[in-house]
């Protein structure tokens, strides 16, 4: 029954439904009115239903016509996606992409990037992984992720030639504790001796680096859980400012300043990186450019 139905016919049908007349629709699709009328009559024969009630001055969609128009709109959308997918694949874009995102990467700007990626590459499916410190380069290095986005420190210990690295912006990290934590009560920059007596909550780390400043540490891989533990006073530690902005504003977490550091926050460079032995293609190249646009001011 659908043999011979064309996208052109469906576009004419939608045009009539939207404009309210065959005359207006013919101008919209830039076809003669007689051609539009004949096309719709042929479509009705092909589908075996009457689409318009022609007994009134202006054509009115029948009940069946309303259903068919709704389906036609979805077909047109799917056809557009098919065309975009084919164009992307012809240009070298992959059918799917895995991105590994470090916990230091601010979430809201990342979502903005992914939102625009959806429109630019509608046929590319994404797998997005948020991972601990060092997790992104591990996944890219092993081939489990096509693109990594993380703080520069995550790449410590990796061969300079292992990744193509692209600076995309920065993110701020703060040392914090609950307001009733003993360290928060001191009211001055903290010495090494001060922090040694208190538990530090640290991320689960991978690679040849550490951010532990004391011997008494708890490793907490989930950032949300670690922030809740910090609020509860179970220890002191670092957290991305973007994740705890509301806590800092409300005072449920307060910044700590180390005597060895002049600033309360540490600005961490953000890198996007891929394996040097793998071609990137248009989708990853586009993502890196977009990351630079969006993350350039994310840490400020």
Percentage of the chain lying above the pLDDT 90 cut: 39
Average pLDDT, the chain: 85
Co-location of 186 and 231 in the same domain:
yes
Confidence of residue 261 (pLDDT cuts 50, 70, 90): confident
Lowest mean pLDDT among 31-40, 90-99, 176-185: 90-99
**Whether residue 299 has pLDDT greater than 60:** no
Confidence of residue 28 (pLDDT cuts 50, 70, 90): confident
- State residue 87's pLDDT score: 58
Co-location of 84 and 130 in the same domain:
no
Co-location of 109 and 154 in the same domain:
yes
**1 inside domain:** no
**Whether residue 140 has pLDDT greater than 50:** yes
Co-location of 219 and 136 in the same domain:
yes
CATH of the domain at 25: 1.10.10.10
**2 inside domain:** no
Co-location of 43 and 144 in the same domain:
no
Co-location of 189 and 113 in the same domain:
yes
Mean pLDDT in residue range 195-217: 73
- State residue 178's pLDDT score: 95
Co-location of 116 and 86 in the same domain:
no
177: part of which helix (H) or strand (E)? strand 163-177
Co-location of 163 and 261 in the same domain:
yes
Q: What are phi and psi of 141, to 5 degrees?
A: -60, -35
Domain with 104 in it: 94-300
Question: pLDDT tens digit string along 244-255?
Answer: 999 999 999 999
Lowest mean pLDDT among 111-120, 211-220, 252-261: 211-220
Question: pLDDT tens digit string along 104-121?
Answer: 899 999 999 999 998 888
User: DSSP labels for 226-287?
Assistant: HHHHHHHTS-EEEEEHHHHHHHHHHTSSEE--BTT-SSSEEEEEEEEEEETTS---HHHHHH
Co-location of 83 and 212 in the same domain:
no
Burial 176-185 (b: 16+ CB within 10 A, else e): bbbeebebbe
Domain count, the chain: 2
CB 36 within 8 A of CB 25: yes
Co-location of 150 and 188 in the same domain:
yes
The answer to pTM > 0.85 is: no
Co-location of 241 and 107 in the same domain:
yes
């Amino acid at each position: 029954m659908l043999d011979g139905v064309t996208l052109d016919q469906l576009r004419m049908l939608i045009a009539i439904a939207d404009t309210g007349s065959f005359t207006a629709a013919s101008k919209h699709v830039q076809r003669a009115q007689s051609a539009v009328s004949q096309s719709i009559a042929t479509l009705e024969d092909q589908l075996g239903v009457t689409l318009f009630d022609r007994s009134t001055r202006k054509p009115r969609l029948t009940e069946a016509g309303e259903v068919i128009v709704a389906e036609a709109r979805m077909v047109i959308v799917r056809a557009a996606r098919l065309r975009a997918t084919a164009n992307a694949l012809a240009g070298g874009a992959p059918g799917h992409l895995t991105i590994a995102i470090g916990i230091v990467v601010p979430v809201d700007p990342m979502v903005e990037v992914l939102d625009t990626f959806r429109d630019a590459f509608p046929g590319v499916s994404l797998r997005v992984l948020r991972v601990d410190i060092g997790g992104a380069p591990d996944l890219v290095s092993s081939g489990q992720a096509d693109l990594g986005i993380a703080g520069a420190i995550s790449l410590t210990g990796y061969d300079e030639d292992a990744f193509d690295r692209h600076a995309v912006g920065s993110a701020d990290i703060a040392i914090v504790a609950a307001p009733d934590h003993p360290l928060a009560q001191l009211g001055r920059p903290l010495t090494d001796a001060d922090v040694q007596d208190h538990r530090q909550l640290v991320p689960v780390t991978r690679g040849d680096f550490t951010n532990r400043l004391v011997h008494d540490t708890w490793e907490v891989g989930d950032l949300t859980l670690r922030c809740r533990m910090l609020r509860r006073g179970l220890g002191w530690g670092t957290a991305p400012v973007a994740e705890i902005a509301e806590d800092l504003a409300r005072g449920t977490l307060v910044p700590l300043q180390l005597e060895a550091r002049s600033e309360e926050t540490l600005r961490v460079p953000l890198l996007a990186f891929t394996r040097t032995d793998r071609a990137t293609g248009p989708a990853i190249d586009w993502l890196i450019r977009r990351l630079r646009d969006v993350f350039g001011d994310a840490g400020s």
